[in-house]
Amino acid sequence: MTGSTTICIDANEFPVSSVVVFRTQAEVARSFPIELQAGNNDLEIKGLPSAIQQDSLRIQGVGKGVTLLDHAISSTPTPFRVGSNEPVKVKELWATKKAAEAELKILTAQTDVLRGYSNSMTAEHVKPEAFMEYLAVFGQAGVQNIDAVKQKEKEIEEIDAQIKKELEASRTSSERNEQLRSTIISVVLNSETELKVAELRITYGVFCNVF
């Protein structure tokens, strides 16, 4: 979308105009006062609920000679912030994961060694009794190695889940609110003349009580 003027609107700074509550959802109406230049005007409304039903969105530019040219809706969830201020528990989990990944790398290398040695053996160069003894040892070692790899992979998955849980628990209320309100609506309005007093109205449905 392109336009001669860009207007940024933070929905959190404006009250909800009306809410109609149904059994499983709600319809929300909001309005934003805007000033428009003559020609195309790009508007970006941020801070809208992540629970918006995208196909329910309706937009109207209110003002003499104002036409809606285009609009788009996107959601950009806030990623977990990883840095020096992360909880001590999370730092410990990262260290544990790093050690587990190093152990997994060793186990994987052992698997490659066992396979390589097995592929290098041929029956014509090994006595039958020695070959059978090797198969017994190799089979036991191989099974133990495979089990160890699976166990270590599961351990790493569990550590990842713990890290995610701890990060979520450590987020501030403002960060959680930012996560819940991560939808952005981009709009292009065309105005025949410069308007000092105009209004943008939007209506949308939500699945929960986040308006």
Give the tens place of pLDDT for each residue, 11-68.
989 999 999 988 778 899 999 999 999 999 999 999 888 888 888 999 987 778 888 8
Asked whether the beta carbons of 41 and 7 are under 8 A apart, the reply is: yes
101-132 pLDDT, tens per residue? 999 888 888 877 766 666 655 556 556 565 55
Which of left, alpha, beta for 28 (phi over 0: left; psi -120 to 50: alpha)? beta
Length of the chain: 211
What is the DSSP-derived secondary structure letter of residue 11? G
170-176: long-range contacts (C-beta < 8 A, 24 or more apart)? Answer: 170/86, 170/87, 170/90, 175/78, 175/81
Report the distance separating Cα 43 and Cα 69, nearest Å: 11
Task: Give the predicted TM-score (pTM) of the model.
Answer: 0.51
182-206 pLDDT, tens per residue? 889 999 999 999 988 888 999 999 8
Using the predicted structure, report yes or no on whether residue 133 has a pLDDT greater than 50: yes
H/E segment holding residue 156: helix 128-170
Query: Exposed, middle or buried, 70 (CB in 10 Å: 0-12/13-18/19+)?
Result: middle
H/E segment holding residue 8: strand 5-10
109-115: long-range contacts (C-beta < 8 A, 24 or more apart)? Answer: 110/145, 111/142, 111/145, 111/146, 111/149, 114/138, 114/141, 114/142, 114/145
Contacts of 164 (CB under 8 A, 6+ apart): 80
